[in-house]
Every structure is written in structure tokens, then in C-alpha cells.
Amino acid sequence: MVRPLFFSERRMTLSRRTALLAGLSGLVVPAFNRGAGAQDAWYPIAGPDGREVQNFRVPVELQTEIMALDNAVLLGAREADLTLIEVYDSNCSFCRRAAMDVKRMTERDRDLAVSLVNAPSLGLPSVQAARVEYAVKQLGGEDKARAFHAASMAMRGVFDGRRALALAADLGLDRGQVEEVADRPETGRVIADAVRLANATNLAATPSWLIAGTAVIGWPGRPTMERIVAAVRDCDKPVCA
């Protein structure tokens, strides 16, 4: 019988990231600044339906810290001239919808990379999955981590620790070793760091995107995201005047 991940038996009321990890890692995780969701858009970005896409300014220092997180996984060329950061949750339906488009963007644009950062916010199963994903990266490297991410985003239903461990085994990793790394306090601290920075950046929904000192909340669709990338290349802003 597989030993449960050490946090899986805890009885907790889980709502947002603060509740998820404050007790799991022994760290104090700051609450979301809810005011960020109510502020006016920093740039006039429109989605495919013509509606304004929520976006706001982000300190470049925070964007740099998020990109350097230990659990970040790079999709695309490491020598790419532009890197888009995606902050996601393993059980986020819009993240799953975006995953194939993001992959196609990096395949079509060889100078674009996407840094994938798992910052769980949707419940205990997401925390378990994030721990296993980090363990996969530690044991199998970025290639295995990319394969794990792609397969997990193609899943339906709740993706929890047990399903994550099964997926890791399907990718050729030793299930027991993956579980041991996932259970380590160090792994909890790594995930807590991702959550802390997501909170500090006011990323109150997944997926969220960071580019050129700007946070874009939600998935605006591939055409809109490609326009943002093109604008950043042209004028270092998500929208050029």
C-alpha cells in the first residue's frame, strides 16, 4: 500500500493560497491584496470578446524572483530573447485550456520561452500535485518535468497526489523516490516560496502571466497573448502607443 503524502491526511478548510500553505510548510504566507483585482487596467488589453483583460504593473524585482524559483520549468529555448512567465495551478481549468496554445506558441516562435511556475491555490490536491511535480524535476530533470506538466494539463477531473505519483511512474521514475522527495520539508518550502511570491504580486487567479513588468490575469486567448508578445518586442510594453 502506498504511503500517503504526509500532508494528505490533514483536516483543513482550504480556500486560497494563504490557507493552503501556512500550515503545510511552517511558514507564514501573506494574504492576497484583494484591491489588486478592483484596480483599473494598466494597459488597454482586450480579449477575443472585446472585453478588457485585467492587468496591472508588477515590480521587475518580483518578476525576476518568480522566474528564478526552484520549481520553475522552462518551456522553449533557454536562449530565447523573451520569456513569458505563467503562474498556474494543476487543477485550474483555464490553465489546462491554455496549455496547448502556449506549447504551440513556443513551437512557432523559437525566440519565445515560457517559465512555468506552479503556485497552488485550488485546494489540497493542488498542493500535493505541486509537490510531486517538483520531485519529478529534482529526480528527472527539466525534460521529465516538461513531460509531467504537459500530461497533467491534459488530465480531466481532480489531479491529486495519487494521480500525480501514478503519472510520475508512467514517465519512468521510481514512485517511492518521487514520494520521498515530495514529502521533504524542503519541498514544502519551495512550494511556499512560489505561493509567497504569487501573493506578493497580487496574482489572485490562475493562470496569471508576467511579462515586461506587467501581470495579465486569466487566459486572454492565444491571439491576444501573441499580440502582447509582439508588442513587448516592439516597444517593451504589452501594448504599443
Q: What is the pLDDT of residue 9?
A: 34
pLDDT digits (tens, 9 = 90+) for 91-135: 999 999 999 999 999 999 999 999 999 999 999 999 999 999 999
**Has residue 151 been placed in a domain?**
yes
Q: Residue 30 corresponds to which amino acid?
A: P
Q: What is the pLDDT of residue 145?
A: 98
Average per-residue pLDDT for the chain = 87
Task: Quote the CA–CA distance of 20 and 66 in Å, as a whole number.
Answer: 19
**Has residue 238 been placed in a domain?**
no
Quick check: 106 and 73 in contact, CB under 8 A? no
**Has residue 1 been placed in a domain?**
no
Q: What is the pLDDT of residue 39?
A: 56
Task: Quote the CA–CA distance of 164 and 162 in Å, as a whole number.
Answer: 5
Question: What stretches in the chain show pLDDT beneath 70?
Answer: 1-40
Total domains in the chain come to: 1
The DSSP-derived string for 91-118 is T-HHHHHHHHHHHHHHHH-TTEEEEEEE
Q: In what order do the strands lie in the sheet with 55-57?
A: 55-57, 214-217, 208-211, 82-88, 112-118, 73-75
**Has residue 227 been placed in a domain?**
yes
- Count CB-CB contacts under 10 A for residue 165: 23
Q: Domain of 82?
A: 17-24+40-231
Strands (E), the chain: 55-57, 73-75, 82-88, 112-118, 208-211, 214-217
**Has residue 33 been placed in a domain?**
no
Task: Quote the CA–CA distance of 2 and 12 in Å, as a whole number.
Answer: 22
Q: What is the pLDDT of residue 179?
A: 97
CATH code: domain of residue 76: 3.40.30.10
Q: What is the pLDDT of residue 82?
A: 97
